[in-house]
Chain A
Amino acid sequence: AQSVDQPDAHVTLYEGASLELRCSYSYSAAPYLFWYVQYPGQSLQFLLKYITGDAVVKGTKGFEAEFRKSNSSFNLKKSPAHWSDSAKYFCALENTGYQNFYFGKGTSLTVIP
């Protein structure tokens, strides 16, 4: 069965540190993977996606993610982190052919100034 797991419900770090938010997936076909961000009281915004090609994809707001087929992961990274990055981050997997998406439970990131 297809699924997305974000094992860390909360991550806290200091401004200037490097951030890495973990995402793993289970899917029988080639995965199409996405990251979204949700700022407090707001809706979800697209950050980046992996479809095919280079394992490292770059997105908006200085974020990038690395696709690793070997361990079915798609971790989100940014260096350095800024206090304005504090938000909830969702990893998503497209259910190919049905054009809908599975979302992880999200990771709440707090960046301390």
Chain B
Amino acid sequence: EAAVTQSPRNKVAVTGGKVTLSCNQTNNHNNMYWYRQDTGHGLRLIHYSYGAGSTEKGDIPDGYKASRPSQENFSLILELATPSQTSVYFCASGDADRTEVFFGKGTRLTVV
């Protein structure tokens, strides 16, 4: 069964601090995604990747960096966290066009 694992599941960070959200998939999928989910906005794409070494900007990349060091791992980095980045973050993986994506269980990030 397709598996996407996110860590940590919950995180409290201070304003101005650095936060790294990690994602691991064992599906051997080429594509990986980071979304954030906020009330009234649904899911919005932050960054995505087509494979190791690749990162692409999504719809709301400002304030976020991404890193894809391997096929399995995709990280989202907040260099200087702000309270507006308080949200639930979902990682997902998928393969070529027209296939569904598989989501992790989410990370609840609170920036105080």
Q: A residues within 8 Å of B by Cβ?
A: 6, 32, 34, 42-46, 49, 51, 90, 94, 96-106
Contact of A34 (CB < 8 Å), options: B58, B100, B104:
B100
Contact residues on B (Cβ < 8 Å of other chain), bracket: 20 to 34
Q: Is the CB of A32 within 8 A of B45?
A: no
- Taking a contact as CB atoms under 8 Å apart, the answer to whether A32 and B98 are in contact is yes
Residues of A within 8 A of B40 (CB): 105
Complex CA–CA separation, A51 to B44 (angstroms)? 22
Q: For the complex, give the distance between the alpha carbons of A44 and B35 in Å.
A: 12
Q: Judge whether A100 and B33 touch: CB under 8 Å.
A: yes
Do A101 and B98 touch across chains, with their CB atoms under 8 A apart? Answer: no
**Closest A residue to B90 using CB positions:** A43
Q: C-beta contact mask, B29-47 vs A, less than 8 Å → 1, else 0?
A: 0010101000011111100
9 closest cross-chain pairs (CB), A and B: A105-B42, A46-B100, A103-B43, A43-B103, A44-B103, A103-B42, A43-B105, A51-B98, A106-B42
CB of B42 within 8 A of CB of A99, answer no
Q: Across the interface, do B90 and A49 meet the contact criterion of CB distance under 8 Å?
A: no
> Is B33 within 8 A of A43, CB to CB?
no
- If the complex has contacts A32-B98, A99-B31, are A90 and B103 also in contact, measured as CB distance less than 8 A? no
Q: Given that A44-B90, A90-B42, A105-B40 are known contacts, is A100 also in contact with B58, CB under 8 Å in the complex? A: yes
C-alpha gap A32/B33 in the complex (Å):
18
| Complex Cα gap A99–B48 (Å) | 9
Task: Please report the C-alpha to C-alpha distance between residue A44 and residue B92 in the assembled complex, in whole angstroms.
Answer: 10
Closest to B33 in A: A100
Question: How many angstroms from the CA of A97 to the CA of B43 in the assembled complex?
Answer: 20
The interface residues of chain B lying within 8 Å CB-to-CB of A102 are 45
> B31 — which chain A residues lie within 8 A by C-beta?
99-100
